[in-house]
Amino acid sequence: MDFIVLGGGVSGLSCGIRLLEAGHAVQLWARELSPHTTSDVAAAMWYPYLASPKERVLGWGQRTYEVLRSLAGRPETGVQMVHGAELFTETVQDPWWASSVPGFRRAAPGELPPGYSEGYAFEVPVIEMPRYLPFLLERFHELGGRLRQREVHSLEEAWSEAPTVVNCTGLGARTLVGDEALFPIRGEVLRVSPSPTPRFLIDESEARGMTYLIPRATDCILGGTAEGGVDSLTPSATEAEGILSRCRRLLPEGTPLNVVEHRVGLRPGRPSVRLEAEHLGERRVIHNYGHGGAGVTLSWGCAEEVRALAEAAR
């Protein structure tokens, strides 16, 4: 093997695919695969949430937007372009990431639910992870990638079979490489079917509580929560009621919400994304983790930087 990629979520698979496309021999090691990864719980829509530094995130996000938009409309990918709005009750400036989204504009009054005075209107990729992750895995196999489902306790295990390791272990990097800057950001979501809205709606107000509705092909993801430092994966009935209450505020009165699933995931929080190459003699590790709530949003941009770092080191 030229490279061993650690991690079976969206970051690991995207990195594996880009390395294989460049002609390298790649093996991916993962403790968990879809549908049991953190990526499977993601809402998931393009939105640079809880990730920094902004300058690097902007570049990674722009590139990922382009790739996801090129995949949209192909049923096997689970990616579709969806219009929607982010909502506010006060005057706000354009967000720092606005230049990444073609057609970004201020919402017209008729696009705002009652009680909101401002909003952004834009179109972004929405990714149905139970379809997208198998699509990525199939692409990885088509390109000749090899998969081993196994838990890794040290980089030495991977270095014994390849000179370069790509570390996409998310929160697992806390123990794998001793990164104490990592911390869990607990998030709960509900899946309802059918979707109560054809467009996504977001209210990120801390005072009112994080609220989002993200429609997909046959259902809709409602959220959410962001509890830093909390690592429980047990769903909370109280949080579920809070999510439903906040989401109903954005919908016409009486809109039915039929909950079919309640899930919890742990986002890999970090003061900044760690994407860098580390050389230890003849051995190398390329770290790619700590994406917060933007793992999907940054996936292809980060994967292409990983490939560039990998090839520069050879």
The answer to the question of whether 9 is labelled as a binding residue is no
Q: In sequence order, which residues have a C-beta less than 8 Å from that of residue 273 and are 6 or more positions away?
A: 51, 52, 53, 56, 57, 60, 289, 290, 291, 292, 298, 302
CA dihedral 226, 229, 233, 234 (to 10 degrees): -80
The answer to the question of whether 225 is labelled as a binding residue is no
Backbone angles phi, psi at 261, to 5 degrees: -160, 145
> How large a percentage of the chain has pLDDT more than 70?
99
Give which of 191, 204, 196, 170 is closest to 273, Cα–Cα: 170
Distance CA 229, CA 227 (A): 6
Single-letter residue type at 154: S
The answer to the question of whether 91 is labelled as a binding residue is no
The answer to the question of whether 292 is labelled as a binding residue is yes
Residue 234: the pLDDT is: 96
Tokens representing 203 are: 């209210």
The residue ranges of the chain whose pLDDT is under 70 are 206, 313-314
Give which of 195, 193, 189, 183 is closest to 236, Cα–Cα: 189
The CATH number of domain 3-312 is 2.30.31.20: no
CA 279 to chain centre: 28
pTM for this one? Answer: 0.96
Residue 35: the pLDDT is: 83
Distance CA 297, CA 306 (A): 16
Domain extents for the chain? Answer: 3-312
Q: What is the DSSP string of 101-152?
A: STT-EEPPGGGSPTT--EEEEEEEEEE-HHHHHHHHHHHHHHTT-EEEE---
β-pairing, 220-223 vs 118-127, is unpaired
CA dihedral 48, 50, 296, 196 (to 10 degrees): -80
The answer to the question of whether 169 is labelled as a binding residue is yes
The answer to the question of whether 39 is labelled as a binding residue is yes
The answer to the question of whether 37 is labelled as a binding residue is no
Residue 36: the pLDDT is: 82
Distance CA 151, CA 169 (A): 11
The label of the residue with tokens 């046959």 reads: 218
The answer to the question of whether 297 is labelled as a binding residue is yes
CA dihedral 102, 215, 48, 176 (to 10 degrees): -140
Residue 162: the pLDDT is: 95
Distance CA 73, CA 81 (A): 8
Backbone angles phi, psi at 268, to 5 degrees: -85, 90
Give which of 196, 182, 168, 190 is closest to 229, Cα–Cα: 182
Asked whether 309 and 277 are in contact (CB, 8 A), the reply is yes
Q: In sequence order, which residues have a C-beta less than 8 Å from that of residue 140 and are 6 or more positions away?
A: 13, 16, 17, 20, 28, 147
Write down how long the chain is. Answer: 314
User: DSSP assignment, residue 266?
Assistant: E
Helices (H), the chain: 10-21, 38-41, 54-71, 129-142, 155-159, 173-176, 237-248, 295-312
β-pairing, 200-203 vs 79-88, is parallel
The answer to the question of whether 207 is labelled as a binding residue is no
Residue 167: the pLDDT is: 98
Residue 313: the pLDDT is: 64
Single-letter residue type at 80: Q
Residue 314: the pLDDT is: 62
The answer to the question of whether 132 is labelled as a binding residue is no
Residue 38: the pLDDT is: 82
